[in-house]
Each structure stands twice: as C-alpha cells, then as structure tokens.
Amino acid sequence: MVHVYATPQADFNPNPTNATVLNPVVTLENASSADVTYWNYYFGDGDSISPSTSSPVHTYPNGEANSYLATLIVHNADGCWDTIQKPVDIGPEFTFYIPNAFTPNGDGVNDYFFGQGIGIVDYDIYIFDRWGNMIYHGDNIYASQMGWKSKSRK
C-alpha cells in the first residue's frame, strides 16, 4: 500500500511592493498553505532566516537600487516541501531641494544659492537677472557650497 501525503504550497508577498533605497525594509508576508510548519527564507542578498518565522521583516542593503531574488522553502509535518522565488525590487529615490532665498553677506551661513538632492543624474542651473541676462550657470550638483553667490551691494 502506498500513502501519498499532501504537498504544501509555498507563497509570499513582498510588502511594500515599491521599497526604496531610503527605506529598504521589506516584510515577506507569508501566503503559504495552512499546513506549513517550517519556513526557510533566502532574501537574495546573502542573508537568510529559518525555521519558525513565517513573515520576516528584512532590511536590504541601502544606497543602491537593486532587484533581489527572494526564495522561500516550506515544509509540512509530513516532511513534504515546496519552493517559490519572487523578485524584491528596491527602487531608486529622488529628492531635490533648492532654496527660495539666500543671504550672500559673507558670514559663512547660506551664502551660496545651489540645489541639493539624491538620485540626481543631470543638473543644470541657470540664473538670470531681471532683464533676462544670464548671470550664472552651474552643472555640478556635487560641488556643494560652490553655487552662485551674488556680488555684494554696498
């Protein structure tokens, strides 16, 4: 006589679905069948966790957008197992700040006018006087404190 045991079904859902480099924390929410008693997660970045955490929270390496292939291996009480893999995407983050005023008085505080941000690839700033004449052009966002400083008026 042959007895065939039921096979568990492995499944999980990454949450949030669009994590970013500024907050690369992802919960792998368990969606496996109810008979699962063992969960082994491989997060795709070299880390793993097992056996009793069904919905782990994992912090992926921050600083660079990347896609990781997360793997879940589940077992049931009968020793049967199933495996599933899903991508976990850590997307880029873009922020940009440019002031609406500055004080170019030589005190070392807020003397230059420039933009700052994260994830900026191309940057060009043009400043024109009230007659439409270009008085400044900058194209390097990483040259901090090297933005435009108006000529002081006395």
pLDDT averaged over the chain?
A: 88
Mean pLDDT over 81-100 rounds to: 91
* pTM of the shown model: 0.68
pLDDT digit string, tens, across residues 61-77? 977 789 999 999 999 99
Q: Where are the domains of the chain?
A: 12-91, 94-154
Query: What pLDDT is recorded for position 146?
Result: 64
CATH class held by domain 12-91: mainly beta
Q: Mean pLDDT check: name the lowest of 96-100, 125-129, 149-153.
A: 149-153
Mean pLDDT over 34-61 rounds to: 95
The three-state secondary structure class of 119 is coil
